[in-house]
Structure formats: C-alpha cells, structure tokens
C-alpha cells in the first residue's frame, strides 16, 4: 500500500471544475523513475454522492499525476432518484504503458464504478433490485494523457460535478493507492 485515507473526507459540493476530493494526508509522491513498463497501480475509492431528482447530474472521476489527468471515467450520469450520500465503489487499474520525460509516460487504465445511482443512458429511476456496474471509460481502452515519469509526481483523486449546488456533492470514506508489482 502506497497511500490510504485515515478518516472520512469532507462533503464537497457547490463546485463544478474537478478538484481533489481525498484528505491531504492520503496524497503520495512517487519518486522520479518509480514507474517502469508493466508497473501496475490500483486506486480504490468508496464514498457517498448526493444528487437531486429535478435533473440528472453527472460526476467525472479522475486519477491525477500532479496536474495531469492520467485516467478519467468520463461524465457518469445519475438516475432520476434523489440521494443523500448514497454509497458508491470505484476501482481503477493503471498499467504503466511507457515511461519517459516530457509527456512520453502513459498509463493504460480501466475502471469499474458500482452503485445504485448510476445509469448508462436515459432518464430512469434507481433499479428496484441490484446495482449498476459501469466500465470507466465505456470505450475501448487507450493510453491516457502523457506525463513525465522521470520527475516526482503526486498521485491524487479528483471529481468534477455538473452542477454547483448544495444538493449535489461527494464525500470520500475510503481511498487507497496500491502498487501491485
């Protein structure tokens, strides 16, 4: 384990531009040249989201290396059912595809998002049984945005919201970053 959140985070709402949602003590700096081709990291996040019934809000989950988005879920739509901190579970595997300076380092990443409040398409209410599982992104896997693996990089987890209001928000309860090899 490289990093973990030791307590529940703050409920964050009234913003739209993606920002860090984990506690500052859970940030970890990877040293220069820590990554190599094939090195795999796993990010696990559990939390709660709040959304309104009047319009389907979206949440965009991002794994960051410094200020670079190295994985994004894309905008994930909520159901038409209102929620107050209903639980979700998100897991992302990031396999180092290439390393190098400038923007030559890349991850190939795929995530899985689970929760009763997510929909793939359409204006629908929560399912009456079970929960939604969404692949993130829901496109063919491709390498993410390039970053510099020859320098120290802070690994962070950001979320963007489609509406800035007190009834749309996110709170992170558990966050871990693991090196799998």
How many structural domains compose the chain?
A: 1
Quote the pTM value: 0.93
What is the overall mean pLDDT for the chain?
A: 92
Task: State the pLDDT at residue 152.
Answer: 98
- Do residues 93 and 110 lie in contact, with contact meaning Cβ atoms separated by under 8 Å? yes
Beta carbons of 161 and 59 less than 8 angstroms apart: yes
* Burial call 20-57: b when 16+ CB within 10 Å, e when fewer: bbbbeebbeebeeebbeeebbbebebbbbbbbbeeebb
Give percent of the chain above pLDDT 70.
Answer: 96
Show the domain range for 91: 3-179
């Amino acid at each position: 384990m490289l990093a973990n959140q030791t307590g529940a985070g703050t409920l964050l709402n009234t913003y739209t531009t993606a920002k860090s949602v984990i506690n500052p003590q859970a940030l970890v700096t990877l040293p220069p040249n820590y990554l190599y081709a094939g090195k795999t990291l796993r990010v696990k996040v559990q939390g709660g989201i709040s959304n309104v019934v009047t319009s389907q809000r979206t949440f965009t989950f991002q794994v960051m290396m410094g200020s670079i988005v190295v994985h994004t879920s894309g905008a994930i739509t909520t159901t038409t059912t209102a929620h107050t901190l209903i639980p979700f579970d998100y897991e992302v595997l990031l396999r180092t595809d290439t390393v190098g300076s400038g923007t030559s380092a890349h991850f190939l990443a795929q995530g899985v998002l689970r929760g009763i409040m997510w929909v793939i398409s359409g204006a629908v209410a929560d399912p009456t049984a079970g929960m939604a599982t969404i692949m993130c992104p829901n496109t063919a896997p491709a390498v993410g945005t390039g970053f510099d693996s020859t320098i120290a990089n802070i690994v962070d987890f950001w979320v963007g919201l489609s509406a800035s209001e007190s009834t749309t928000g996110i709170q992170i309860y558990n966050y871990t970053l693991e090196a799998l090899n």
